Amino acid sequence: MAYTFSTALAGMTGTATRDIFRLLSRPEIISFAGGLPAGDCLPIAQIREITAEIFADPKEAARVLQYGQTEGYPGLRELLIPLIKEAGIGGLIDNENILILSGGGQGLDLMIKAFVNAGDVVLVENPTFLGFLETLKAYNGVSIGVKADRDGINLEDLEAKIKKYKPKLLYAIPNFSNPTGKTWPAERRKTVAALAAKYNFMVVEDDPYGRLRFSGDAVPSIKSFEKDLNGKDLHGPEEHVVYISSFSKTVSPGLRTGFAVGNAAVIRKLAIGKQGADLHTSNLSQAIIKRYLEKQYFYPNIEKSLPVYRERKTAMIGAIQKYMPGEFVHTNPDGGLFIWGEFSVPVNTVEIFKEAIEQNAAYINGTVFYADDGEGGKAGVLGANTLRLNYSNESPERIEKGVKALGEVFKKHITALGKK
Amino acid sequence: MAYTFSTALAGMTGTATRDIFRLLSRPEIISFAGGLPAGDCLPIAQIREITAEIFADPKEAARVLQYGQTEGYPGLRELLIPLIKEAGIGGLIDNENILILSGGGQGLDLMIKAFVNAGDVVLVENPTFLGFLETLKAYNGVSIGVKADRDGINLEDLEAKIKKYKPKLLYAIPNFSNPTGKTWPAERRKTVAALAAKYNFMVVEDDPYGRLRFSGDAVPSIKSFEKDLNGKDLHGPEEHVVYISSFSKTVSPGLRTGFAVGNAAVIRKLAIGKQGADLHTSNLSQAIIKRYLEKQYFYPNIEKSLPVYRERKTAMIGAIQKYMPGEFVHTNPDGGLFIWGEFSVPVNTVEIFKEAIEQNAAYINGTVFYADDGEGGKAGVLGANTLRLNYSNESPERIEKGVKALGEVFKKHITALGKK
pTM as predicted: 0.96
Exposure string for B279-299, b = 16+ CB within 10 A, e = fewer: bbbbbbbbbbbbbbbeeebbe
Using alpha carbons only, give the angle B178, B183, B185 rounded to the nearest 5 degrees. Answer: 155
To the nearest whole percent, how much of chain A has pLDDT over 70?
95
| 48-107 in chain A: CB under 8 A from chain B | 48, 51-52, 55-56, 58, 61-68, 102-103, 105-106
Q: Is the pLDDT of residue A1 over 60?
A: no
β strands within B134-250, DSSP E: 142-146, 148-149, 152-153, 169-172, 202-206, 241-246
How close, in Å, is residue B266 to chain A by CA atoms? 8
pLDDT at B388: 97
DSSP assignment of B330-371: E---SBSSEEEEEESS---HHHHHHHHHHTTEE-EEGGGGPP
Could you tell me the CA-to-CA distances from B145 to A325, B124, B162, B246 in Å, in that order? 65, 5, 11, 25
Q: What is the DSSP string of A265-283?
A: HHHHHHHHHHHHHTSS--H
For B363, counting Cβ atoms within 10 Å of its Cβ (0-12 exposed, 13-18 middle, 19+ buried), the class is: buried
Query: What average pLDDT does the segment A302-327 reach?
Result: 98
- pLDDT at position B23 is 72
Query: Does A283 sit within 8 Å of B284, measured CB to CB?
Result: no
pLDDT digits (tens, 9 = 90+) for B296-321: 999 999 999 999 999 999 999 999 99
pLDDT for residue A237 = 61
pLDDT of residue B58: 96
Contact A248/B at CB under 8 A: yes
Average pLDDT over residues A16-24: 70
Helices B264-278, B104-115: crossing angle, 10 deg rounding: 110
- What are the helix (H) ranges across A204-348? 264-277, 283-294, 298-323
A111 neighbors A172 (Cβ within 8 angstroms):
no
pLDDT tens for A159-209 read 999 999 999 999 999 999 999 999 999 999 999 999 999 999 999 999 999
Beta-strand pair B328-330/B338-343: antiparallel
In angstroms, the CA B282 to CA B290 distance is 12
Instruction: Specify which residues B213 forms β-bridges with.
Output: B335
> Of the ranges A102-111, A340-349, B20-29, which one carries the lowest mean pLDDT score?
B20-29
Helix (H) or strand (E) holding B390: strand B386-390
Answer whether B276 sits within 8 Å of A131, measured CB to CB: yes
Partner residue facing B131 (CB), from A269, A276, A280: A276
What whole-number distance in Å separates Cα of residue B234 and Cα of residue B229?
10
Look at residues A272, A108, A119, A201 and name the one whose alpha carbon lies nearest to residue B9. Answer: A272
A239 in B contact zone (CB under 8 Å): no
Smallest CA–CA distance, residue A298 to chain B, in Å, is 15
Please indicate if any CB of chain A lies within 8 Å of the CB of B266: yes
Q: Residues of A with CB below 8 A from B278's CB?
A: 102-103, 105-106, 109, 256, 277-278
* Beta carbons of B189 and B198 less than 8 angstroms apart: no
pLDDT recorded at residue A16: 65
Q: Do B285 and A281 count as a contact with CB atoms less than 8 A apart?
A: no
Dist CA B401 CA B390 (whole Å): 14
Classify domain B45-295 at the CATH topology level. Aspartate Aminotransferase; domain 2 (3.40.640)
**Span B337-362, average pLDDT:** 96
- Under 8 Å between Cβ of B100 and B72: yes
Q: Looking at residue A350, what is its pLDDT?
A: 95
The whole-angstrom separation of Cα B38 and Cα B281 is 24
Q: pLDDT-derived band of residue A236, with 50, 70 and 90 as boundaries?
A: low
> A45-296 has which CATH code?
3.40.640.10
Q: Is some CB atom of chain B closer than 8 A to the CB atom of A40? A: no
Residues 6 or more apart in contact with residue A82 via CB below 8 angstroms: none
Residue among B55, B50, B54 at smallest CA distance from B301: B50
Beta bridge partners of B31: B362
Q: What's the CATH number of domain B12-41+300-419, 3.90.1150.10, 3.40.50.1220, 3.40.710.10, 3.90.870.40?
A: 3.90.1150.10
The Cα–Cα gap between A132 and A124 comes to 9
Output B420 or A359, whichever has higher pLDDT: A359
Of A13, A200, A276, the CB nearest to B138: A276
Query: Helical H runs in B182-329?
Result: 186-199, 264-278, 283-294, 298-323
The Cα angle at residue A128 between residues A191 and A99, in degrees rounded to 5 = 75
Using a CB-CB distance cutoff of 8 angstroms, which residues of chain A are in contact with residue B106?
A: 277-278
Q: Is B385 on the interface with A (CB under 8 A)?
A: no
Determine, for residues B9 and A273 on separate chains, whether the beta-carbon distance falls below 8 Å.
Answer: yes
CA distance to partner chain B, nearest, from residue A272 (Å): 7
pLDDT in tens, A133-154: 999 998 999 999 999 999 999 9
Q: In the 8-state DSSP scheme, what is residue A213?
A: B
| Residue of A48, A67, A116 with shortest CB distance to B61 | A48
Question: What does the domain layout of chain B look like in residue ranges?
Answer: 12-41+300-419, 45-295
Touching B: A residues 174-213, CB under 8 Å: 200, 202
**Cβ contacts of B390 on chain A, cutoff 8 Å:** none
Cross-chain residue pair A237–B117, CB shorter than 8 Å? no
Output the furthest CA–CA distance in chain B (Å, rounded): 74
Q: Which residues pair with B169 in a beta bridge?
A: B122, B202
Please give the Cα distance from B100 to A358 (Å, whole number): 33
Q: Is the pLDDT of residue A84 over 70?
A: yes
d(CA A72, CA A280): 7
Cβ contact (<8 Å) for A284 and B285? Answer: yes
**Cβ <8 Å between A65 and B253:** yes
Give the span between the Cα atoms of B361 and A357, in whole angstroms: 66
What is the full DSSP assignment across B315-328?
HHHHHHHHHS-TTE
B189-212 mean pLDDT: 96
Determine the Cα–Cα distance for residues A19 and A74; give it in Å rounded to an integer: 42
Least confident window among A373-387, B76-90, B187-201? B76-90
Pairwise CA distance, residues B70 & B61, whole Å: 18
The fold of A13-42+300-419 is Aspartate Aminotransferase, domain 1 (3.90.1150)
The chain-wide mean pLDDT, for chain A, equals 94
Q: Which of B377, B385, B387 is nearest to B143 (CA)?
A: B377
The H-or-E segment that residue A143 falls in is strand A142-146
**Could B248 and A105 be called an inter-chain contact, meaning their C-beta atoms sit closer than 8 Å?**
no
Residue B344's pLDDT is 97
In sequence order, what are the residues at sequence separation of 6 or more whose Cβ sits closer than 8 angstroms to the Cβ of residue A230?
none
